Amino acid sequence: MFERSSGILLHISSLSGKDGIGTFGKEAYEFVDFLKRSNQKLWQILPLGTTSYGDSPYQSFSAFAGNPYFIDMEELVNRGGLNREDIDNADLIGHKEYIDYEKIYNNKLALLKKSYSNEAHNFTEEIKKFVEENSYWVEGYALFMAIKDKNHGLEWTKWEKKEKFAYIKTLRSLKEELKEEIDYYIYLQYLFYTQWEKLKRYANDNGIKIIGDLPIFISGDSADAWLKTELFLFDEDKNMKVVAGCPPDVFSKDGQLWGNPLYNWKINRRRKYSWWIERMKSAFSMYDIVRIDHFRGFESYWEIPGDAKTARNGRWVKGPGMELFKAIKSELGDLPIIAEDLGFMTKEVEKLLHDSEYPGMKILEFGFGGGNDNGYLPHNYPKNSVAYTGTHDNETVVGWNQNIDQWQRDYARNYLRDYLGWGEVTDDNIHMAMVEGVMKSKAILAITPMQDFLGLDNRARINTPSTLGNNWKWRLKGDELKNDLANYISDITKRYDRF
């Protein structure tokens, strides 16, 4: 289902531009043009869902809705929803290289509400068609967000009982009371999906496929958890009995407490995994290839008590395994899926990966902590894998090189020198040696974060797991996509037969 090729990992939020955050606007199209000039065939992004506290794309108010932050405001000016002065006076940009989410939340959403008031009535038929095509989720999501606003952003588990339990009579009344707010949220999703489909079409027309990212878990504070609570492990008072995370390891003595609700796989199985099938169907309507995050959690997952303060006192619980993927395949056919198989691996997880036939991930930064048989060294990569220098959760290569022990640094330099046939690997070229290391490998796909092509240090790191406050903020300044860089990437792409 894959051909030997390569691509770049850059989230939409990290694009440059005047909106204070990357959008589906001009800069996104320019990045597609850069990918084409570089002879890349893949653009990998992070989840596109609406973000909440912490700004993580892996914690969204919906498994289906898109993030309104990514809506291009320029198009709204062209359509007549906003005036040029509205945007010029909006104060969206803080630091040029970092996203100020508070400004975006306060000022961009105010602009979108103004656009809704000015122009939504001009697109009534188009919006109606959009609602019909997305009836599985969009009205429920819009109602959820409207009630959430009515409750001043409070989590749904803390709403008054009749709202929390979504009584039919209460919802019927709220749909009338909050009609304007509900229509506003539907309008935002109409804009998001209309603009995204246009951008994706442009990418596809230029030979670029989009790799999307599907988090295994949903946020507890989401429309899905609220309206489909029975699919998750909530108690009779609609509070989470157990939550997701991962156990203690060398990186975190307390493990990672993610706090997401866990699935009631017994109910999901009884319903023939219909929610998951709809979710995958939606994902493949948005992306050409889907990376499933935390794939090992489908074999077994770390279950933590709902009131726990750390992830220490959890336990491993069996997941649905191949039964889920067989159900998806039965309904949707063979799908181009990448399995994020990182973390604590067992023979059972390896068997699930083998049985699924999905390519797993190989991270070169992990390759220099053992011997020559380390599975993360490029000469050991199987063809059915996807090679990365690092991911959004890792240090940039330059930052990694600065922080590893000297013996690892020497090992990496000597290995890459011999593997690539280079004269010398130094601090100045280590990032490109790592890029060429994954490009040369047998892995069917090779993906490099944009920061590693640019040789940026950890100030450009996207995420540090188990931390809050400084994540998901980095973005391009706007002057990086030069022809010299495109030509270099094109040259190594041809050299390693990924063209």
Q: Is 294 exposed, middle or buried (0-12, 13-18, 19+ CB in 10 A)?
A: buried
DSSP 140-158: HHHHHHHHHHHTTT--GGG
How is residue 399 written in tokens? 């930052």
How is residue 7 written in tokens? 């691509």
How is residue 320 written in tokens? 């649905």
Torsions phi, psi for 112 (to 5 deg): -65, -35
Helix axes 179-205, 168-177, angle to 10 degrees: 80
- Are 298 and 327 in contact by the 8 Å Cβ rule? The answer is no
Please give the Cα distance from 279 to 215 (Å, whole number): 11
- Are 446 and 389 in contact by the 8 Å Cβ rule? The answer is no
Q: Are strands 445-449 and 300-305 parallel, antiparallel or unpaired?
A: unpaired
Please give the Cα distance from 173 to 199 (Å, whole number): 38
- Which positions are annotated as active-site residues? 293, 340, 393
Please give the Cα distance from 480 to 493 (Å, whole number): 19
Sheet holding 42-44, edge to edge: 337-339, 289-292, 209-214, 42-44, 5-9, 445-449, 385-388, 360-363
Please give the Cα distance from 48 to 294 (Å, whole number): 17
Q: DSSP 3-state assignment of 231? A: helix
Q: DSSP 3-state assignment of 412? A: helix
